[in-house]
Amino acid sequence: MIVGASIFVGLPLFGWGINNASKFINHPVRLLYVIIIILLQFFAIIYNPKTAKKKESRTKRIVKSKLDLILIQIFSLAIVFIAPYSDSHAIFTVSSGNIIRYLGLILVMAGFILMQLAEKYLARQFSVEVTIQEDHQLVTNGPYKYLRHPRYLGIMVFFFGISFVFQSFLAMGVVVALSIVLVWRVFAEERLMRQEFKQEWDDYCANSW
């Protein structure tokens, strides 16, 4: 929770300007953003308490997946810093009142909850790398009943939400780059799933998005 709050509250404050932190929280949407992020961290602990305690027993992995993981981390941190920076300095920002900001708050909540929901259903099979775990089972319930990659969708929605909260075109551009990396990762993951589950995977794909 401390790490999450440090990244998604502390880093935006740093991007905005620590010396001008009072102006950051003076805006109702930015103040709501801080409150929502903290509440979402509590939600994650209560809803999905075992996420940080899972031990992996990998049997297969894609060696090159390290590159996409590194890019995902870089782009994610860049979004969280660039969005408030561009808002604070009025650099490539959207001028549309507060509508897009409030929409951003909704997207932040929806994306975060979808990520947590996906991790909950993956259980011990969840991994930040593209891997096959020991006794790996194909998850087809919960959000996976309809979507093959709900967590990746949640990540996209969450970070688009942050860029909307700060009305930052710059951050939106980085989210697009992040989304491209996630799609690249999707193709790598689906190749591995098809190799592992064969016809079961093809049947699942025929009934999911």
Given this model, what pLDDT does residue 5 score? 86
Contacts of residue 126, Cβ cutoff 8 Å, sequence gap at least 6: 51, 54, 119
Query: Cα(150)–Cα(6) distance, rounded to whole angstroms?
Result: 25
Three-state SS annotation for 110-137: HHHHHHHHHHHHHHHHCCCCCEEECCCC
Given this model, what pLDDT does residue 132 score? 62
What CATH number corresponds to the domain at position 143? 1.20.120.1630
Q: Please, which pLDDT band fits residue 97 given cuts at 50, 70 and 90?
A: confident
Percent of the chain with pLDDT over 70: 88
Average pLDDT, whole number, for the chain? 88
Number of folded domains that form the chain: 1
Contacts of residue 137, Cβ cutoff 8 Å, sequence gap at least 6: 125
For residue 175, count other CB atoms closer than 10 A to its CB: 27
Q: Which residues of 179-195 are buried (b: 16+ CB within 10 A; e: fewer)?
A: bebbeebbeebeebbee
Q: Please, which pLDDT band fits residue 144 given cuts at 50, 70 and 90?
A: very high
- Summarize pLDDT for 1-46 with one digit per residue, the tens: 788 889 999 999 999 999 989 999 999 999 999 999 999 999 999 9
Average pLDDT over residues 45-52: 76
Look up residue 141 and give its two tokens. 């319930």
Look up residue 35 and give its two tokens. 């409150």
Q: At what angle do helices 99-122 and 150-165 cross, to 10 degrees?
A: 160
Burial of 171 (0-12, 13-18, 19+ CB in 10 A): buried
Q: Which of 113, 89, 109 is nearest to 167 (CA)?
A: 89
Residue ranges of the alpha helices (H) in the chain?
2-5, 11-16, 21-26, 28-47, 65-89, 99-122, 150-165, 169-197, 199-205
Given this model, what pLDDT does residue 86 score? 96
Is the pTM higher than 0.85? yes
- 3-class state of residue 148 by DSSP: coil
**Full residue range of the structural domain in which residue 127 is found:** 2-205
On whether the CB atoms of residues 97 and 29 are closer than 8 A, the answer is: no
Q: Please, which pLDDT band fits residue 49 given cuts at 50, 70 and 90?
A: confident
Residue 163 has pLDDT above 80, yes or no: yes
